[in-house]
Amino acid sequence: MRVNGSFPVTLQDCKALDLLATTVCMLDQDGMIRWVNNAGQSLLKRSSRSLEGMAAKNLFEDDQAFEHAFEAILHGEFSSFGLMGSLIQNQGQEKLLVSATLQRLEQQAWSVILEVREIEQHTLAERNERLIKELEIHQETFRNLGHEVKNPLGGLRGAAQLLEMELSDPALQEYTRVIIAEADRLQELVDRLIRPGQSNLSLSLINIHEVCERVHALLKAEYREQITIVRDYDASVPDMKADMAKLLQAYLNIGRNAAQSLLSGNLKNKPCITLRTRVLNRHLLLNRMHRLVVVVSVIDNGPGVPEALHDRVFHPLVTGRPDGTGLGLSLAQEYVRQHGGLIEFDSVPGRTEFRILLPLDAT
């Protein structure tokens, strides 16, 4: 057997890889599959003959994400690269949620080794449950703190107003106006911390692309020619019952975060945001199996979420920007969670994707 058209792979090497329970594919420098083990043939439900010679990116629903990862590996930006996505099985008839790892190889018969593992539903459930518990704890803490702050804040504002009435010097009145303005700003911040848990959903039948189009129009108006905004919609997404105002706010918060990240970094390429929709079949979401789940994504080519914030990005008051409040993603997560959904993200320099997952049909 030959790999990359020139270097032989020994029988012993092939037998060792065929003993693995995980999928292993050998890729050449063009990203073409040159060898796949038995586990890979079983997972993909295709023979090695039909797989060898095809582009590895075609195995994944999000072929652009895979291509970005492969180029980063090939050009030495990373020695290994992990991503999560949907694997296309049985020649496009089925999809499976997997984690994939790309590893660059030096002086070998192939350029990159691709390892694919199925993400077990219980693993996904544990991750979702852990995230939700963390968010609930933080939200409850800040709601309690907000209630404690509201009363003295109101007293502070009232005292400043009374003081302003007693002062005749305009210069001194300017100080009281600053106190009142800052008290109002803090009051608004407190209200935003408290409000999500107190408000109910106003449900109506909507199409998620109405939300996407509104966000597209708002971002386009706000950032004009500074950022290229691409729409990539799945027209098969059915209508759903949801609170359009809350989903709009959640999606807009994510979109604005992406835009601000793009404009704050020194990019080699023109800043670009992609608004994308897809549908997942039989997906576990917040410990419930749903027959259909819509995935609404914001993808950007910015510097990415700092590694130190990956585990805390949805926590209130956590931000990577000097001028940020740290409430945008926290509120977005809360609004989506009220719909029985969840926001997830993957981020590396050059590609960040935030995904809103919303149930369309529970089983």
Give the pLDDT mean for 97-107: 81
Domain 2-119: CATH class, spelled out: alpha beta
Give the pLDDT mean for 72-79: 78
CA distance linking residue 326 with residue 323, whole number of Å: 9
Question: pLDDT at position 1, please?
Answer: 41
Burial of 331 (0-12, 13-18, 19+ CB in 10 A): buried
Q: Tens of pLDDT along 309-355?
A: 777 777 766 665 555 556 778 888 888 988 989 898 888 888 889 99
Which of 335, 275, 345 is closest to 307 using CA atoms? 345
Question: pLDDT at position 299, please?
Answer: 93
Q: Is pLDDT above 60 for 222?
A: yes
Name the β-bridge partners of 103.
80, 113
Domain locations along the chain:
2-119, 123-198, 204-362
H or E element at residue 189: helix 170-198
Least confident of 196-210, 240-254, 266-280: 196-210
Spatial contact of 126 and 137, defined as CB atoms under 8 Å apart? no
With a pLDDT cut of 70, the percent of the chain lying above it is 79
Question: pLDDT at position 2, please?
Answer: 41
Q: Is pLDDT above 90 for 82?
A: no
Q: Is pLDDT above 50 for 192?
A: yes
Question: pLDDT at position 128, please?
Answer: 64
Phi, psi of 98, rounded to the nearest 5 degrees: -140, 165
Q: Tens of pLDDT along 134-166?
A: 666 666 666 666 667 777 888 888 888 888 888
Burial of 63 (0-12, 13-18, 19+ CB in 10 A): middle
Q: Tens of pLDDT along 39-61?
A: 888 888 888 888 989 999 988 88
Which of 114, 59, 66, 67 is closest to 88 using CA atoms? 59
Which of 362, 233, 281 is closest to 95 using CA atoms? 281
**CATH code for the structural domain at 204-362:** 3.30.565.10
Give the pLDDT mean for 1-29: 65
* pLDDT tier, 33 (very low <50, low <70, confident <90, very high otherwise): very high
From residue 96, alpha-carbon distances to 21, 99, 280 in Å are: 16, 10, 9
Q: What is the mean pLDDT of the chain?
A: 80
Q: How many CA atoms lie within 13 A of 252 on its CB side?
A: 17
Q: Where are the beta strands (DSSP E) in the chain?
A: 2-3, 7-8, 23-27, 33-36, 80-89, 94-104, 112-118, 204-206, 228-232, 240-242, 272-285, 288-300, 342-348, 351-362
Q: Is pLDDT above 90 for 181?
A: no
Least confident of 8-17, 95-104, 205-214, 352-361: 8-17
Q: Tens of pLDDT along 232-261?
A: 999 889 999 999 989 998 999 999 989 988
